Amino acid sequence: MTIERMLTEETPARVLVARVLAEAGIEYVFGISGGHTGRIVSGLSQVQNQVRMVTVREESLAGVMAEVYGRLTRRPGVMLGQGPWVLGNGLLGTLEAFLSSSPMLLLTDFSDAPRFALHAPYQQATGDYGSWDARRAFGGVTKQVMQAHEPIAAVQATQLAIKHAMAGQPGPVAVLFSHDALAGSVAPDSQPVLYPTRFYLPPPAPPADPAQIEAAAERILAAERPVIIAGNGVRIAQAYEPLRDLAEAAGLPVTTTAAGKGCFAETHPLALGVLGTFGTPAANACLGEADLVLVVGSKLSPSDTAWENTRLLDPTRQNFVQIDIEPRHASWNFPAETVVLGDAAQALTQLCEAVRVRLQSGLAQGRAQGRREAGVRRVQLHREAQGFFNAPSYAATDKPILPQRVIGELMRTLPENAIVTCDAGENRILMTHFYQTKAAGGFLQAAGSGPMGFGIPAALAAKLVHPDRAVVAVVGDGGFAMTMNGLMTALEHDIPIIVVVFNNKALGWVLHGSGPFAAEFNEFDHAAIARAMGCRGTRVEDPEALAPALREALAAGVPTVIDVMTSLAVSFADVTSPLANEASPRRR
């Protein structure tokens, strides 16, 4: 194979940086032109038919949109802007990408002043005396930091940053550009030589070790009561179909972590919903009696495991099989007797094939159909005994409106393939517990860092990635106030999301956890605010008006806010598992 050079003529570095993004298949850049990065924006104008610049009103929206784009596509989402504000305001999405392993690219700058670096110029981030140190600051919240001080390095750093953001366990990578790096040009004979970006993109994930796969298949088929725990790694790997195929082939009930909610349709006959602190009783009951637990793409945090309550998960009485792309996650919190290292989609596909071969060749007891029927029966018995998305409160007529009634109307009204994004706080906990996802990929929340202000920009990014699907952001009135300027971006870029506000005039989590002091708000009409911006806005005070409001919003095809006056009568404590209450360190 002949490898060609990238350049045939001298080209400005700013144009080449933009070309790198296009060559990598990156469709969007989110941010605000500022500092030296304005030159990159100028370069993007040269590739605007391939890469769309989405200008936001504040960097926190850009950070979340970039993180969600990366999580949903496996290609790095790009946040662009000036160093101090990409670090400060944009930290919302960067930290979530870091903790949730989303591929992300931060294109930012040192804000340096050539020849005056030692004189502490305004905003400078080079780390010299009198300046702040961008490399050290970004280093604490990213997978890698690249720095470019000359034009060739600007191009190579961008290429390598894309590679590192995607390779192995994904994550955010920052590129810090100096003034000179973006102000100059690169000639075809410049050294080191530049090559096309495709050579820097990581290759497809290699297959997992066949011996590990065979060991896992043998253990799964030998178990009497196996259960799957699916985490966010399933979403990152886009492993929805392989997960479903394995569950059906081996008759495995499926639970998800809070971060993994949405990776498996909760309407599937093998679905048990979310496990752990705010999980469904059916999921926790089935998992607690399991003799084998297959953990896919999850770090198993204390909240996932009800503070490691041994009545839920206990390696002394349960066998653990773990699939993860990061070796350091293997047997991190629970010893796993069998570990499969690799990409979740690839490993699940291999494991499913190994299970099928064993069943067809008689190396395992039973047949595929019989195993599936047995798994479905187990799930059904737990659903009948514990209840499963059938709470009477879904039809409650209370005023103010119970959150469960709002969630019930969302379940009844939204299309099967709708995507729901959640903010932080009590509204997210209630959605995690009560909302039943109907399709894989239909639910998204910030479960790595859990910041307020996530729901609206997450919905904007999800709608850009999936323009044919209805996208609804469910937020509290606190989270709405933080990022309602995202509606301006929705209007300017024709992104018709729906925002449902749980308006209880309070920070519900704080109020129910610590009391009303510093937790209550004045009453604001968020629908009127939306209308003033140019969006559709509807205020709902009667539960019977919920469904019509949702149907109208779905038909409108424009950004819409539905401001629902909700009750404080239900709290996160009402959906906290007894397993978590008895094991929580806060009770000791």
Helix residue spans in 5-140 (DSSP H): 13-23, 38-44, 59-73, 83-88, 91-100, 134-139
Tens of pLDDT, residues 290-344? 999 999 999 999 999 999 999 999 999 999 999 999 999 999 999 999 999 999 9
pLDDT for the residue 586: 63
CA 79/CA 32 separation, integer angstroms: 9
Query: Rounded CA gap, 113 and 130, in Å?
Result: 13
Q: Which of 85, 68, 84 is nearest to 76 (CA)?
A: 68
CATH topology of domain 210-386: Rossmann fold (3.40.50)
pLDDT tens figures, 329-377: 999 999 999 999 999 999 999 999 999 999 988 766 667 678 999 999 9
Give residue for tokens 């003529």: 9
Residues 447, 450, 452, 453: is their CA dihedral positive or negative? negative
| Residue 103 DSSP class | -
Q: Check residue 2 and give its pLDDT.
A: 81
Q: For residues 165-184, give the mean pLDDT.
A: 96
- Other beta carbons less than 10 A from residue 405's beta carbon: 22
Range 46-67 average pLDDT? 96
Percent of the chain with pLDDT over 90: 94
- In 3D, which of 583, 586, 585 has the Cα closest to residue 312? 583
Residue (of 422, 505, 425, 433) closest to 462 by Cα position: 422
User: Pairing relation of β-strands 144-148 and 172-177?
Assistant: parallel
How far is residue 400's CA from residue 117's CA, in Å, rounded to a whole number? 59
Supply the pLDDT for residue 588: 45
Of how many residues is the chain composed?
A: 588
**Which CATH number describes the domain made up of 11-200?**
3.40.50.970
Other CB atoms within 10 A of residue 494 CB: 11
- Using a pLDDT cut of 70, give the percent of the chain over it: 98
Q: What is the DSSP string of 132-177?
A: -BHHHHHHTTSSEEEEESSHHHHHHHHHHHHHHHHSSS--EEEEEE
Q: CA 46 to CA 16: how far, in whole Å?
A: 10
Which pair of structure tokens corresponds to residue 39?
């030159």
Measured distance CA(557)–CA(535) in Å, rounded: 11
- Residues 209-240: pLDDT tens digits? 999 999 999 999 999 999 999 999 999 999 99
Give pLDDT, residue 123: 92
| Burial (Cβ within 10 Å: 0-12, 13-18, ≥19) of residue 384 | exposed
Average pLDDT, the chain: 95
Q: Specify which residues 149 forms β-bridges with.
A: none
Residue 587 has pLDDT above 60, yes or no: no
Query: Could you give phi then psi for residue 408, rounded to 5 degrees?
Result: -60, -40
* AA letter at 553: A
- Say if 210-386 and 392-575 have the same CATH topology: yes
Give 3-state DSSP helix, strand, coil % of the chain, rounded to 5: 45, 15, 40
Question: What's the pLDDT at 369?
Answer: 79
Specify whether the CB–CB gap between 202 and 160 falls below 8 A. Answer: no
Helix (H, G, I), strand (E, B) or coil at 116: coil
Question: Helix 344-361 and helix 368-386: axis angle, to 10°?
Answer: 120
Q: Answer for the pair 154, 183: CB distance below 8 angstroms, yes or no.
A: no
Can you tell me the distance from the alpha carbon of 583 to that of 348, in angstroms, rounded to the nearest whole number?
A: 32
The pLDDT, as a whole number, for residue 23 is: 97
Using CB atoms within 10 Å of the CB of residue 483, give its burial: 0 to 12 exposed, 13 to 18 middle, 19+ buried. buried
Mean pLDDT for the stretch of residues 485-500:
98
Fold (CATH) for 392-575: Rossmann fold (3.40.50)
Count of beta carbons in the 10 Å neighbourhood of residue 402: 23
Burial 201-237 (b: 16+ CB within 10 A, else e): beeebeebeeebbbbbbbbbbebebbbbbbbbbbbbb
3-state secondary structure of 8: coil
The per-residue DSSP string of 382-448 comes to HHHHH--S--GGGG---SSBPHHHHHHHHHHHS-TT-EEEE-SSHHHHHHHHHPPP-STT-EE---S
Q: What is the pTM of this model?
A: 0.96
In 198-343, where does DSSP find H-type helix?
A: 210-222, 232-236, 240-250, 281-288
User: Omega before 192 cis (within 30°)?
Assistant: yes
Q: Dihedral, CA atoms, 123, 125, 131, 132, nearest 10 degrees?
A: 110
- What are the angstrom distances between the C-alpha of 487 and each of 143, 364, 460, 492? 31, 56, 9, 9
Tokens of 519: 């937790």
List all residues 6 or more positions away from 331 whose beta carbon is below 8 Å from its beta carbon. 320, 322, 339
Return d(Cα 465, Cα 494) in angstroms, integer: 13
3-state secondary structure of 124: coil
* Backbone Cα Rg of the chain: 25
| Residue 464 to residues 365, 496, 587, Cα–Cα distance (Å) | 47, 10, 44
Domain locations in the chain as residue ranges: 11-200, 210-386, 392-575
Give the model's confidence band at 1: pLDDT under 50 very low, under 70 low, under 90 confident, else very high.
Answer: low
